[in-house]
């Protein structure tokens, strides 16, 4: 299978990376759980849509940004890829060292449009999302096999779909998950080590994978 120049192997590996990212507890998890517990699942679903919209903007910015960079300075793509692999290694370390358990905070009720806006702005203004996309996309894109823009958008669509599925599940069972995580800090530590190790292995493997050189998209 080949989609916009992306082989089935690359698509499968990227889907795994996207799933690991979506399963990593972070601000989005805490916000969605807090909002759901404070105002119900309907509010959680609206917040989830807002987060997805914010992530979609980051995907578009990363896709067009990488395309512009490659057109202007072809050899810069490898530099971005190497820097991205280094960032993934740092992310692996940060995941292992992160602490704390799920402690939700009370949130005041809000109208659906406010929920959408708050979640959208929160996702849009999170610089870590932009850095992650710019770090991860070049690891899987091969300019020699097609349009960088098309490949980036395809990867972005996979990531958004994966995140949406995980967030939907999270909101649906938010109350249970919050109580389960809070009572099992050992599981959280094990999860951090597992996810951190997975990110580290992924970063090293991608950094060492040879690529073809191309000057066109």
Q: What is the pTM of this model?
A: 0.71
Do the bridges between strand 6-7 and strand 2-3 make them parallel or antiparallel, or are there none, so unpaired?
antiparallel
CA triple 191-194-199, angle to 5 deg: 120
Q: How far apart are CA 41 and CA 8, in angstroms?
A: 36
Q: How far apart are CA 9 and CA 2, in angstroms?
A: 9
Mind listing the pLDDT tens digit for each residue in 77-134? 667 667 767 766 776 676 566 554 455 556 677 888 988 988 898 788 776 777 778 7
Mind listing the pLDDT tens digit for each residue in 34-62? 788 778 888 889 999 999 999 999 899 88
pLDDT of residue 212: 45
pLDDT of residue 217: 37
Q: Where are the domains of the chain?
A: 2-208
pLDDT at residue 213 above 50? no
Q: Which backbone phi and psi does 115 adopt, to 5 degrees?
A: -60, -45
Q: How far apart are CA 1 and CA 22, in angstroms?
A: 25
């Amino acid at each position: 299978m080949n989609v916009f120049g992306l082989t089935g192997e690359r698509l499968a590996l990227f889907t795994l990376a996207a799933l690991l990212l979506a399963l990593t507890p972070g601000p989005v998890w805490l916000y969605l759980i807090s909002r759901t517990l404070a105002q119900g699942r309907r509010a959680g679903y609206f917040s989830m849509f807002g987060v997805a919209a914010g992530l979609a903007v980051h995907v578009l910015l990363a896709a067009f940004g990488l395309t512009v960079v490659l057109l202007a300075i072809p050899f810069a793509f490898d530099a971005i890829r190497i820097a991205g692999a280094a960032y993934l290694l740092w992310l692996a370390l940060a995941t292992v060292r992160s602490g704390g358990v799920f402690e939700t905070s009370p949130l005041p009720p809000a109208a659906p449009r406010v929920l959408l806006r708050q979640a959208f702005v929160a996702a849009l203004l999170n610089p870590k999302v932009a850095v992650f996309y710019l770090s991860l996309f070049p690891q899987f894109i091969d300019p020699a096999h097609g349009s960088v823009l098309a490949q980036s958008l395809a990867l972005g669509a996979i990531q958004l779909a994966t995140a949406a599925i995980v967030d939907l599940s999270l909101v649906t069972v938010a109350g249970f998950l919050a109580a389960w995580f809070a009572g099992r800090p050992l599981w959280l530590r094990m999860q951090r080590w597992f996810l951190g190790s997975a990110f580290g292995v992924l970063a090293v493997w991608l950094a060492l994978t040879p690529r073809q050189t191309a000057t066109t998209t």
